[in-house]
């Protein structure tokens, strides 16, 4: 997500986080309004209290689980993209294997978002598991999944994306 933006390096970290947050919100707005025709979810704001009440865990622990989820989604992003690209190659001989890998990766993340009650991510991951006939839709779901994860904790997400971007250059 950071590689899509040209952010002035002289800006403060807070301003950079806000720029990426605005970009993430735009992605969510576009995907949920255009792909799902659901403007409710474009403005979805995660409610930590819902997970706290349902799971009976303290907010600090749920916040840590959210951070773990954000990291997991950002790390899985390239895998999702690579699987989608290989599934839709003209000469893909192991298409079913790649579809199964996509399903397994999505399913692994679905359990986490269900437990944490992250509603927008549940819808996106469900489509990644079931809507295998529309590559553009699936690519939009992957992009929105990362954007929705960013919105959960923008400062943590920015730091994580920055670290991932740095590791890719080494």
pLDDT, average across residues 3-27: 84
Higher pLDDT, 68 or 40: 68
Please answer whether residues 72 and 109 qualify as being in contact, where contact means their C-beta atoms are separated by less than 8 angstroms: yes
Please answer whether residues 38 and 32 qualify as being in contact, where contact means their C-beta atoms are separated by less than 8 angstroms: yes
What was the pLDDT predicted at 90?
62
Tell me how crowded residue 153 is: count the other CB atoms within 10 A of its CB. 17
- 77-118 tens-digit pLDDT: 888 888 888 877 766 677 778 888 888 889 999 989 999 999
What was the pLDDT predicted at 116?
93
DSSP state letter for 133: T
pTM of the model: 0.88
């Amino acid at each position: 997500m950071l590689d899509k933006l040209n952010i002035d390096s002289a800006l403060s970290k807070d301003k950079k986080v806000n720029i990426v947050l605005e970009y993430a919100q735009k992605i969510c707005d576009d995907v949920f309004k255009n792909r799902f025709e659901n403007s409710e979810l474009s403005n979805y704001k995660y409610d930590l209290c819902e997970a706290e009440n349902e799971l009976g865990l303290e907010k600090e622990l749920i916040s840590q689980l959210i951070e773990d989820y954000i990291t997991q989604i950002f790390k899985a992003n390239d895998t999702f993209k690579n699987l989608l690209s290989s599934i839709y190659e003209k000469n893909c001989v192991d298409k079913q294997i790649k579809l199964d890998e996509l399903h397994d990766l999505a399913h692994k993340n679905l359990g986490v978002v269900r437990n944490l009650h992250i509603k927008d991510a549940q819808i996106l991951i469900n489509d990644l598991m079931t809507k295998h006939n529309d590559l553009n839709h699936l690519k939009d779901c992957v992009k929105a999944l990362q954007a929705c994860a960013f919105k959960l904790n923008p400062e943590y997400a920015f730091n994580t994306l920055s670290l991932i971007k740095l590791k890719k250059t080494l």
